[in-house]
Amino acid sequence: MRQTKNFYLFDSRIATHVIFWMGYYVLFGLIWVGPEGYLASFYLEFVLLPIRILAVYTTIYFLLPRFLLKHKYLMFLLGYSIVLLVGGVLQRIFIHLFYEELLLNDSNTGLFSVMMLIRAIVLINTTVLLILGIKLFQLWAMEHEKNQIANSEILEIRSNRKTHRVPTEKILFVEGLGNYVTYHLDDDSKLTSYGTIKAALEQLPKDFSRVHKSYIVNKRHIKSYDAMSIDVQNKSIPRGKNISDEVLTV
């Protein structure tokens, strides 16, 4: 059965985060290049990246679950403001010590210039809001899929000495062969159970129709059909001669 989407590349959270931050580093190193050249730009992004990573992970793994998702909005805003302020101060210190003085030999800009501090906070805020938005969308999509599964009808299928609880919306079609029926699921897996095609149809909701002596199809998954066959996802099943088009409509 298909699992809830996790949105991670290669099904790996670590790999996804590493690839994202590497892409972020390269992109902003190219975007913020100035008169000092690419080397100075990439050096500065390298110096500031840990601060932005810390601000992002503090927000999405501490403030988000503890306050925002629990509707403690004032606490979230307070915590978020502290994260931005601390991040802005740290960024100014790192820029002043490791970039302006060390690389540019320029100490005249001032460690805590108000405009420089505001700029630092805005840059951190932009990064955090971007990733917070992505995280919120991920949580929404996962919750939406869980609700869809929870609200769908569940069919219990006995296969390989186990009882599998399958949401009927995950079933593409059912194939009958003698005293066995095979349920083809939308993740390309299948479950074979003892029984007849007629008995299987009786257990399924109205979205399913028998379209051949050996096949039942989930009409919501039909992609196309002609007089001889029905296409379901990436598979094709036969269509009975006496099956009208009305039988295939939802």
Look at residue 26 in the predicted model and tell me its pLDDT: 95
Lowest-pLDDT range, 13-22, 96-105, 125-134, 199-208? 96-105
Look at residue 32 in the predicted model and tell me its pLDDT: 84
- pTM exceeding the 0.85 threshold for the entire prediction: no
**C-alpha triplet 56, 58, 63: angle, nearest 5°:** 110
Look at residue 3 in the predicted model and tell me its pLDDT: 43
Q: What is the mean pLDDT of residues 3-13?
A: 71
What confidence tier does 163 reach under pLDDT thresholds 50, 70, 90? very high
pLDDT, greater one: 234 or 182: 182
Q: What is the mean pLDDT of residues 127-136?
A: 95
Look at residue 108 in the predicted model and tell me its pLDDT: 58
Q: What is the mean pLDDT of residues 94-107?
A: 71
Q: What is the mean pLDDT of residues 92-106?
A: 75
Look at residue 2 in the predicted model and tell me its pLDDT: 41
Q: What is the mean pLDDT of residues 196-205?
A: 93
Look at residue 105 in the predicted model and tell me its pLDDT: 63
Name the average pLDDT for the chain: 89
Lowest-pLDDT range, 29-43, 61-75, 229-243? 29-43
Q: What is the mean pLDDT of residues 213-219?
A: 96
